[in-house]
Amino acid sequence: MTITLWLENAVQDAERRGLPALRPLLETLARATSALRMADWNADASGQLEPHRPDGR
Amino acid sequence: MDAEPRTLAELAHALRSGAVTAAETTERCLSTIAARNASLNAFITVLADEARAQARQADAEIAAGRYRGPLHGVPVSLKDIIDLRGVATTAASRVREGHIAAADAPVVSRLKAAGAVLIGKNNLHEFAFGTTNEDSAFGAARHPLDANRSPGGSSGGSAAAVASGMAYAAIGTDTGGSIRIPSAACGLVGLKPTLGEIPTGGVVPLSPTMDHVGPICRSVEDAQILHAALGGAGSAARSPASRPLKLARLHDDFTALLDPAVASAFAQACTRLREAGVELCDAIIPHAGDIAPVYLHIVLVEAAAYHAPTLERAADAYTPNVRMRLEMGRYILAEDYMRALHGREVLRTEVDSALTGCDALLLPTLPILAPRLGVETVRVGGTEEPVRGAMLRLTQLFNLTGHPAITIPCGMSPEGLPIGAQLVGRLGETAALLDLARAVEGYLGPGASR
C-alpha cells in the first residue's frame, strides 16, 4: 500500500471514529513511515512498481 | 551523626555502623515529602506507616547482627507502574482506577529481600508514554530546582523525589530514555541495564521489546548497589583496567543539534576526561538518521497492542495526548513494523561496531535543558522541534539495541540546571559499564554532581 493511500484511509477512519485530532499525528507518522521505507537497508517498499526480483525475495 | 549522608552508599555505611538509624532516616525523608510534595508532585502514594514499620524492623535486624546488605534500612521509592502487593499501581492514569496489585513485581521482591524501606510510589507520565511527566492523571511532577520546569520523564516523579531528598533512590523504567532523561535533567545518575537483564514482570508494559527497569540515584556506586540488588548480572567487584580508558564520542546526529549550554558542558567534560588520561576517539552510527522512524514504528505498535482493549472500553479515561499517541499505533501496518524490526537489527550491529576498539560510547544524554512546563516545541541550533522528539533523540537508540547505558552529571547550565553525559557499554556487560562510569564520575569531579 502506498503511503498516500494509507494516509487517506487512516485519516478517513479516524474522522469516522470521531478522532479528527489524529490527523496531524497521522501526517507526522506518514513522514516517518516514508523515511522508514526509504532507508537504504530496506527493500524498496514504496508501493510503486518495482522490478521483479528473480530470487523471489 | 552530624552531616546527612548524601548518597545511598554513605547512608549504608552510617546505618551499618549505627551512626544513624533507618527510623530517623525514613522520618527525615517523610518530612521532606510532607514539606515539598505539594509543590513537586513527585509521589502519587506515600506509604508512611508501612515505611516506618519497615524501618523499625531494619533497625532491629541490624542491631541484632542480621545485616542484609547496603540496601538494608534505605528509603527507596517506586515508579507507580511497578506492582507492590496490596497497593494501587495507577500508571498515573484514570484507566487504572480501582486497581490493587495482587503480588509484588520481581524487582520489588528483590528490594524487600535486601531490606529496603519502600517509602512510596512516584508520579510519571501516564503509562510511561511521554518525556515531560505533564500528562498524568495526578498532575505534572515539577523540577526540584525550578518548579516551572519539567523534571523530565517518564520517571519524572522518581527523579524529583531523589533529587529533593524524599528518597535515597528510586526504581524507574526506561523504554526510550525514561530513566536517563529525568536523571540527567535533575542532576542524578540513571542506569538502563542491558535489555532483559532485570525482570520486567509486574511492570505495566509500554513496549515489551524495549522496556527496561533500573535505578535512579545519586552516584554510580549507588547504581552498582541497586543493580546488584535488582539481580543484575556480573555485579561482583572487578579490578580496575590496567590501561587508560578509551571512549568513543558519537558524532553527527548526536552532536549536531545541542543546546549551547549542553554543548559547552559536554565539551568541558571531554576536556576533563582527556586531562585525566582518558583517550577519546570518534565514532558514528551510519544509519543514525533512521533511529526515530524505527523507534516510532515499534513503540507505537507495541503500546497500541497492550492498550487496545482499554482504548475500546475507556478511551476517555486517558489523558488526551497519550490517547492520541496510542491511537496512532493502531494504524501502523504490520509490514512497516517488520521493517522497523529489521532496522533495529541494523542499528544494533552499528552500535556493536562503534564499540569495537573502545571501552564505551560517550555522548550527551539530553540535547536540551529541562524544558519549561507547557512548552510543546523547542528551538535547538536554529531548528524548531517537538520537545518529545528532542528529549528522546540521544537515548532511544539504546532501547532499540538493548545496550546498557548510564547517565552521570557532567555540568550545569549558567542558570544552574543540570546536564548529563551518557556512557554506553557492550551488550550483557552492564557491570563493566558501571565500573567504567565510576571512574569517569571521579574524573568529572564532585562539582558535576548534585
What secondary structure does DSSP assign to B330-355, as a single string?
Answer: TT--HHHHHHHHHHHHHHHHHHHHHH
Q: How far apart are CA B220 and CA B430, in angstroms?
A: 12
- Spell out the alpha helix ranges (H) of B170-319: 180-186, 220-229, 260-275, 291-314
Q: Give the pLDDT confidence score for residue A52 in this predicted structure.
A: 40
Q: How confident is the model at residue A53 (pLDDT cuts 50, 70, 90)?
A: very low
- Higher pLDDT: A1 or B188? It is B188
Which residues on neighbouring strands pair with residue A42, listed in sequence order?
Answer: none
Q: How far apart are CA B412 and CA B418, in angstroms?
A: 4
- Higher pLDDT: B237 or A27? It is A27
Instruction: Tell whether A16 is within 8 A of chain B (Cβ).
Output: no
Q: What is the mean pLDDT of residues B330-341?
A: 97
Q: List Cβ neighbours of B1 (8 Å cut-off, separation of 6 or more).
A: B14, B19, B20
In the predicted model, what is the mean pLDDT of chain B? 96
The grid cell for B141 is 511532577
B391–chain A nearest CA distance, Å: 17
Tell me the angle at which helices A23-38 and A3-16 cross, rounded to the nearest 10 degrees.
160
- For A6-43, give the secondary structure using H, E and C: HHHHHHHHHHHCCCHHHHHHHHHHHHHHHHHHHCCCCC
- Which residue among B287, B296, B325 sits closest to A32, beta carbon to beta carbon? B296
Q: How far apart are CA B176 and CA B180, in angstroms?
A: 9
Q: Give the pLDDT confidence score for residue B450 in this predicted structure.
A: 45
- Which residue among B297, B320, B328 sits closest to A36, beta carbon to beta carbon? B297
The grid cell for B98 is 480501582
Q: What is the pLDDT of residues B119-140, one digit of tens each?
A: 999 999 999 999 999 999 999 9
Q: Give the pLDDT confidence score for residue A51 in this predicted structure.
A: 40
| Mutation target vs B (from A36, A37, A44; most B CBs, 10 A cutoff) | A36
Q: Which residue of B has its CA nearest to A9?
A: B331
Q: Give the pLDDT confidence score for residue A44 in this predicted structure.
A: 56
Q: List Cβ neighbours of A42 (8 Å cut-off, separation of 6 or more).
A: A36, B339, B342, B343
- Which residue among B289, B296, B342 sits closest to A42, beta carbon to beta carbon? B342
Helices and strands in chain B: count of H runs, count of E runs: 14, 13
The grid cell for B444 is 568529572
- Which residue among A21, A36, A40 sits closest to B339, beta carbon to beta carbon? A36
Q: How confident is the model at residue B448 (pLDDT cuts 50, 70, 90)?
A: low
**Which chain A residues have a beta carbon less than 8 Å from that of B287?**
39-41
Q: Which residues of B carry out catalysis? A: 79, 154, 178
In the predicted structure, residue B155 carries a pLDDT above the cut 90: yes
The grid cell for B268 is 568541558
Burial, B124: exposed, middle or buried (Cβ in 10 Å; 0-12, 13-18, 19+)?
A: buried
**Cβ pair B339:A1 closer than 8 A:** no
Nearest to B410 by CA among B214, B252, B250, B270: B270
Q: How far apart are CA B79 and CA B214, in angstroms?
A: 10
Q: What is the pLDDT of residues B3-57, one digit of tens each?
A: 789 999 999 999 999 999 999 999 999 999 999 999 999 999 999 999 999 999 9
A53–chain B nearest CA distance, Å: 18
Signed CA dihedral, B237, B243, B245, B251: sign only: negative
In the predicted structure, residue B238 carries a pLDDT above the cut 70: no
Q: How far apart are CA B82 and CA B107, in angstroms?
A: 9
Instruction: Look at B170-179, B256-265, B284-293, B440-449 and tell me which has the smallest mean pLDDT.
Output: B440-449
**Which chain B residues have a beta carbon less than 8 Å from that of A14?**
327, 331
Q: How far is CA B223 from CA B216, B294, B442, in A?
A: 7, 30, 14
Q: How confident is the model at residue A46 (pLDDT cuts 50, 70, 90)?
A: low
A39–chain B nearest CA distance, Å: 7
Q: What is the DSSP letter of B419?
A: E
Q: How far apart are CA B104 and CA A30, in angstroms?
A: 41
Question: Which residue is associated with the grid cell 547482627?
Answer: B65
Q: Give the pLDDT confidence score for residue B382 in this predicted structure.
A: 85
Q: What is the DSSP letter of B74?
A: -
Q: Give the pLDDT confidence score for residue B447 in this predicted structure.
A: 52
In the predicted structure, residue B65 carries a pLDDT above the cut 80: yes
The grid cell for B199 is 525482570
Provide Rg for chain B, Cα atoms: 20
| Mutation target vs A (from B287, B326, B328; most A CBs, 10 A cutoff) | B328
Q: Which residue of B has its CA nearest to A29?
A: B328
Neighbours of B50 (CB within 10 A): 16
Q: What is the mean pLDDT of residues B224-242?
A: 76
Q: Strand locations in B25-74, DSSP E?
A: 43-46
Instruction: Tell whether A3 is within 8 A of chain B (Cβ).
Output: no
Question: Which residue is associated with the grid cell 552508599?
Answer: B9
Q: What is the DSSP letter of B358?
A: S
Q: Give the pLDDT confidence score for residue B20 in this predicted structure.
A: 98
In the predicted structure, residue B89 carries a pLDDT above the cut 70: yes
The grid cell for B290 is 533512521
A51–chain B nearest CA distance, Å: 19
Q: Give the pLDDT confidence score for residue B449 in this predicted structure.
A: 47
